[in-house]
Amino acid sequence: MSVTHDVIVVGGGLVGTAIAYGLQKRGLSTVLLDEGDVAHRASRGNFGLVWVQSKGLGAPHYQRWTRGSAEAWPSLATELAERTGLDTALHQPGGIHICLSEEEFEQRAVYMAQLQREAGNLGMEYRMLNHAETAEMLPGIGRAVVGSSWTPYDGHASPLYLLRALHTAFRDAGGTYRPNAGVSEGTAAPRDFSVQAGGETHRAPRIVLAAGLGNAALAPRFGLEAPVRPQRGQVLVTERTRQLLPMPTTSIRQTDEGSVMIGDSKEEAGYDSLTQTPELMRGMAQRAVLTFPWIAELNIVRAWSALRVMAPDGLPIYDESGRFPGAFTANCHSGVTLAGAHADILAPMIAAGELPPEMAPFSARRFHDVRSAA
Amino acid sequence: MFAPRPDIRPATVEVFVEGRPVLVPEGASAAAAVLLAGLPAIRETPVGGAPRLPYCMMGICFDCLAEIDGVANRQACMVTVEPGMRIAAQRGARQARPGTAPEVAA
């Protein structure tokens, strides 16, 4: 049995579903192929920041992309709520990066100044705050907090409600969702692609590979490359408590339901997402308690690790095949932050049939070109 | 609604559920005391405010969360009674209290 569509999207996580939704709502009949729970499921372990202020140093195109996505988020959240009745719990009150030593504070000040210079005409509003100024924004900080950086662009959302809302909106818009449909075979010709998945054959003039870590093996079959590797992150979650955090920090946020999430660890541990390392968890908890001493009273009720999808330079990859026009890749480690861009900036580009020149810096060709090496 | 099975163990330990004295056998759980007290609910859920009583009695469902001897959000089914224990309802999310927790050294 062969089914023909306008677009095949491979990958049912936040990246693939946001793109598929963006395509389907623009009238392209789209099939979304989801491998199943054997996949690494980065979207199920996400921390949930919609975060701008720590991204894109040395890569102004990425800074602009992230800002654009943060700006696209409110209308996406409103639209998803209207279409599905699901609240993605988006809040963009600004965000804080905490510094626990003079050294951290000085490094952060240099970093933020550089980021602002690189923003160029786009501009970037930020402030370095001392302890007292930080305490005004975030009551209850500990004495160990030397200061912080603040920008008005940051925020957070519920990754799980976002994923569910995108899936629901995609299907409500007429999209075809196929679970347990890992791609087993694929053939590529210019604007003519066919894949076998879940016992069916799907054909389309466009294909978007958004399979996270799975893209590394999948991309070469379609004349593309996606040299991504796993980077493990761990998350600790406390019991629910009454709302105390008016805005998120880089590593601590409070959900709408009241849980405090503690995150932002980075480990090179291969594909092992089952192990958790107590010394690392202890370090995360200790930093959280130094930042907000009241967290020490709370019980940790859950913890997990998940695998980020990292390119060699840590930036997203958006690419199109030169050999097989119509084949695209999308890889990033910020499926929540970039959901706005994926649904409403990237999807229209793919719908138009090719990526515009301003997307060239995101091409995986950058890993071969010494002149553009950052 | 709930009653202990007959002639198992004598109810010798006095605890207080929402201030009301309840006698339970030694080794019983605080959740058992809650059920014997006959309350309509021991907690209200943090998001929807729905009333809850102990349910699984084996540490899985978290529906027995209670404030026990002043400590919020304890799983009452996993806590063994002690004489004089005070078991109070957990209403909604617990309160963390900025400024009251001792600061750890950097």
Task: In whole angstroms, give the CA distance from residue A49 to residue A333.
Answer: 11
What is the CATH number for B45?
A: 3.10.20.740
Phi, psi (5° rounding) for residue A216? Answer: -55, -40
**Strands across the sheet with A200-204, in order?**
A2-4, A200-204, A192-197, A183-189
Residue A373 pLDDT: 44
Does residue B33 sit within a domain? yes
Of the candidates A239, A289, A299, which has its C-beta nearest B104's C-beta? A289
- pLDDT band of residue B104 (cuts 50, 70, 90) is low
Q: Which helix (H) or strand (E) holds A16?
A: helix A14-24
Task: In whole angstroms, give the CA distance from residue A10 to residue A218.
Answer: 9
CA distances from A250 to A94, A262, A309, B37 (A): 11, 9, 19, 46
Question: Is pLDDT at B106 greater than 50 in this prediction?
Answer: no
Residue B24 pLDDT: 95
Closest residue by Cα to residue A363 from A305, A298, A313: A313
DSSP tag of A126: -
Contact between A272 and A168 under an 8 Å Cβ cutoff? The reply is no
SS3 of residue A145 by DSSP: coil
How many Cβ contacts (< 8 angstroms) between chains A and B?
Answer: 60
Phi, psi (5° rounding) for residue A139? Answer: -60, 145
Per residue in A214-233, pLDDT (tens digit) is 999 999 999 999 999 999 99
Residues of chain A where predicted confidence (pLDDT) is lower than 50: 372-374
The Cα of A144 is separated from the nearest Cα of chain B by a number of Å equal to: 6
Does residue B61 sit within a domain? yes
Residue A2 pLDDT: 87
HEC-encoded secondary structure of A23-51: HHCCCCCEEEECCCCCCCCHHHCCCCEEC
- pLDDT band of residue B102 (cuts 50, 70, 90) is low
A34 burial via Cβ count (<10 Å: 0-12, 13-18, 19+) = buried
DSSP string, A168-196: HHHHHTT-EEESS--EEEEEEETTEEEEE
The Cα of A91 is separated from the nearest Cα of chain B by a number of Å equal to: 18
Taking contacts as CB-CB distances below 8 angstroms, the residues of chain B near A105 are: none
Q: Identify the structural domains of chain A with CATH numbers, from first to last.
A: 2-53+160-228+313-372 (3.50.50.60), 95-152 (no CATH), 229-310 (3.30.9.10)
Contact between A247 and A95 under an 8 Å Cβ cutoff? The reply is yes
ipTM: 0.77
Per residue in A288-309, pLDDT (tens digit) is 999 999 999 899 989 999 999 9
Closest residue by Cα to residue A320 from A226, A224, A228, A227: A224
Contact state of B95 with A144 under an 8 Å Cβ cutoff: no
pTM over 0.80: yes
Contact state of A244 with B98 under an 8 Å Cβ cutoff: yes
Residue A118 pLDDT: 96
Per residue in A50-61, pLDDT (tens digit) is 999 988 999 999
Strands B86-91 and B43-44: parallel
Task: In whole angstroms, give the CA distance from residue A324 to residue A191.
Answer: 7
What is the length of chain A?
374
Contact state of A297 with B93 under an 8 Å Cβ cutoff: no
Does residue B96 sit within a domain? no
Query: Any chain B CB within 8 A of the CB of A372?
Result: no
Cβ under 8 Å to B: A residues 88-107: 100
DSSP tag of B5: P
Torsion, Cα A171 A75 A257 A129, to 10 degrees, reads 150
Residue A374 pLDDT: 43
Taking contacts as CB-CB distances below 8 angstroms, the residues of chain A near B94 are: 239-242, 298
DSSP tag of A109: H
Does residue B71 sit within a domain? yes
Pick from A31-35, A290-294, B67-71, B101-105: least confident: B101-105
A143 burial via Cβ count (<10 Å: 0-12, 13-18, 19+) = exposed
Provide the number of structural domains found in chain B.
1
Question: Is pLDDT at B101 greater than 80 in this prediction?
Answer: no
With tokens 């980020």, the residue in question is A308
Mutation for A interface: B68, B94, B95, B100, most A CBs within 10 A: B94
With tokens 């304890």, the residue in question is B74
DSSP string, B10-64: -EEEEEEETTEEEEEETT-BHHHHHHHHT-S-SEE-TTT--EE---SSSSSS-TT
The Cα of B4 is separated from the nearest Cα of chain A by a number of Å equal to: 31
Q: Which domain holds residue B67?
A: 11-91
Does residue B46 sit within a domain? yes
Query: Any chain B CB within 8 A of the CB of A290?
Result: yes
Contact state of B104 with A299 under an 8 Å Cβ cutoff: no
Strands A49-50 and A155-156: antiparallel
Does residue B5 sit within a domain? no
Per residue in B4-14, pLDDT (tens digit) is 777 678 899 99
Residue B99 pLDDT: 62
Query: Any chain B CB within 8 A of the CB of A142?
Result: yes
**Residue A117, token pair as written in the block:** 């210079």
β-pair partners for A314: none
CA distances from A155 to A89, A173, A248, B101 (A): 10, 28, 7, 27
Does residue B103 sit within a domain? no
Does residue B4 sit within a domain? no
Half-sphere CA count of A141, side-chain side, radius 13 A: 28
